[in-house]
Amino acid sequence: MPVSERERTAIANIAGWRNTAPAQFAEELASLSLETHRIADPYSYLITAKGELFSPTARCLIKDTIDDKTSLLGRLEYQAVLVTEQWVANNNEGVSIWVSPPKKGIYPTSKIIVQEIVHEGGVKKLFNRAIVLDFNEEQCMRFAWNLTSFSHNKPIFRDLDEIRAIPLVLNTQNKSWIDILEKLIDVPKVWAMIRNGEDKQYKKETLRQAVIVQKQFFTDSRLSYSDEAKIAVMQMLGSKSGSCPPRSGTQGRTAFQAIAGSAVTVGSGGGLVESDQYGSLEFECPKCKKTNTRPKGQLIPNCQHCGQDVRC
């Protein structure tokens, strides 16, 4: 019997999740669930005083989770992260769109991240929504060209690589960014869910389900090899493909994967681990990938397992 897309996606990702910190596991499974159902994935990052993006779940700067900064793709996407951080450092509001075209062997389909500077409880954050487009290369190029007419920076894109490196800062002219994108992308269900907040509710529910899967099958890595673990993950996935390679892939983690995968979810917590003003009390060491647990209200300078400096 041929393997379904859902089963293929589950098998590929489970291998990389076996030693992942519980909070990060739940975030990644919940995001993959929304993505394979083609529902916008909402999440946010903190912004440091220097304008750097910080993940409370991973307990580190997003830049520190990027493996590939030297290949052509790695350099282009890392440039986009630096451009984004410069933008958030110099502005207190605004919306930016980062377009990721398909890339053979890495990104099977196109995707955008809508990045909005917001303030919650006096804290400056970058609120994101990752949206899979399913555009081919030609369609993605046409979309990016059309989107430049609604941007402040108005770059002239000559190829797909330039699109990867230059996020577009929208000139909304007091309109909602959704009003702009729905003129260019025909996915009425996605826009309706965002307008009524349904995507946020879906994210909270999928996170709750991911917590259950983690506690049942991933507290002991031996359980993750069972058919029951695979079935539990498959039940959360949709019929569509994911947009990024799994953690277990041989390709180093790119900047776009880091931005789309190290998030703190809307409504995160969900009973998985406690959190405080600094974020989750559990976090994964960026070097040894093992889980650290810190006291509430306190930070720790070094990984409890390998001694790596984990201060940000």
Q: Is residue 158, in this structure, part of any structural domain at all?
A: yes
Q: Is residue 306, in this structure, part of any structural domain at all?
A: no
**CA end-to-end span of the chain:** 49
Cα separation, 2 vs 289, in Å, equals 34
Q: Check if the beta carbon of residue 53 is closer than 8 Å to that of residue 264.
A: no
Q: How many domains does the chain have?
A: 1
Q: Is residue 304, in this structure, part of any structural domain at all?
A: no
pLDDT tens digit at each of 312 positions of the chain = 678 889 988 998 898 888 777 888 888 899 999 999 999 999 989 899 899 998 876 678 888 888 899 999 999 999 999 999 999 999 999 999 999 999 988 898 999 999 999 998 888 999 999 999 999 999 999 999 999 999 999 999 999 999 999 999 999 888 899 999 999 999 999 999 999 999 999 999 999 999 999 999 998 888 889 999 999 999 999 999 888 776 654 456 788 888 876 444 444 443 344 556 566 667 777 777 777 777 777 788 888 888 888 875
Q: Is residue 93, in this structure, part of any structural domain at all?
A: yes
Q: Is residue 301, in this structure, part of any structural domain at all?
A: no
One DSSP character per residue, 97-117 reads: EEEE--BTTTBSS-EEEEEEE
Q: Is residue 299, in this structure, part of any structural domain at all?
A: no
Q: Is residue 250, in this structure, part of any structural domain at all?
A: yes
Q: Is residue 308, in this structure, part of any structural domain at all?
A: no
Predicted model pTM: 0.82
Query: Domain span at residue 119?
Result: 5-293
Q: Which residues touch 113 (CB under 8 Å, ≥6 apart)?
A: 97, 98, 100, 128, 129, 130, 131, 256, 259, 260
